[in-house]
Amino acid sequence: MEGLTLAGPLLAVLAGLALVDSTSIGTLGLPVFMLAQPRIRPAAVLAYLGAIALFYWVLGVALHAGADSALQFLESRDDARVLDRIQLVLGVALFLASFLFDGPVGRWRKERRERSGRVSAMERWKGRLVGAEASAGTVVATALGAGLVEAASMLPYLAAIGILTANGIGVVAGALVLVAYCAVMVAPALLLLALRVGAARAIEPALGRINEWFGRRSGDLLAWTLGIVGFLLAADAFGRLQ
């Protein structure tokens, strides 16, 4: 019965993390750019989303397997509760850090980007996705490149894997949960694709505005991500410690 009691809150936390992940540059910013073009290629958008979802899933299964082995080692030494305390402290720290990134640190990062004048990775990838040479292979390679770049900062996904491990979800069950996680992660982009194909005139203005927003405010997403991930990590750990 305890597993059933935990199932609802645990799934809600994982779904929340997946939705946060769905707003990243790789999972929404670049797909929206593809959909905001006058002429779109639905097959290319599907190939992109399929490639980045598969990349996330393979990486997640590998990380979860390693984390599960580490947890089993700690449990054999009666140190499992230490992980819960570490997760609680990390969650609180990330939540507090979000206010810094939304304030002075965020302004400093924005000013540094403007002074450097460097083209972001997102700008470099855009031409590969919709240019004349945007073949299926190029689109898939761009998706994998976006996944690799975001792997170092995929806080929601890493938090989800940590929560799966801390709650005793095994590797096989975790792999199935991660399939659902990745599906939720690309669901908003898939919904926008369906609307773009079925109701182009109605959705095109909104896509244009979303695309412009990502171009202006993509850096601000880090503060929101830190805050939400920190809160969910802390809440999950606090629940187990109680």
Q: Is residue 85 part of a domain?
A: yes
For residue 61, what pLDDT is reported? 93
Q: Tell me if 82 is assigned to some domain.
A: yes
CA dist 190 and 48 (Å) reads 11
Rounded Cα distance, 27 and 48, in Å: 9
Q: Is the pLDDT of residue 4 over 50?
A: no
Average pLDDT over residues 100-123: 58
Question: Would you say residue 52 has pLDDT above 90?
Answer: yes
Percent of the chain surpassing pLDDT 70: 69
133 within some domain = yes
**What is the three-class DSSP state of 214?**
helix
Query: Distance between CA 115 and CA 119 in Å, rounded?
Result: 11
**Domain membership of residue 62 as a residue range:** 2-237
In 3D, which of 33, 63, 24 has the Cα closest to residue 161?
63
- Is 106's pLDDT higher than 60? no
> Is residue 59 a part of any domain in this protein?
yes
Q: Which residues contact 92 (CB under 8 A, 6 or more apart)?
A: 230, 234
Q: Say which residue, 239 or 15, is predicted with more confidence.
A: 15
pTM metric for this prediction: 0.75
Higher pLDDT, 152 or 98: 98
Total count of domains within the chain: 1
Percentage helix, strand, coil for the chain under 3-state DSSP, each rounded to 5? 85, 0, 15
Is residue 242 situated within a structural domain?
A: no
- When pLDDT is averaged across residues 230-234 and rounded to a whole number, the result is 76
Greater confidence (54 vs 123) lies with 54
The dihedral of CA 197, 202, 205, 207: what is its sign?
Answer: negative
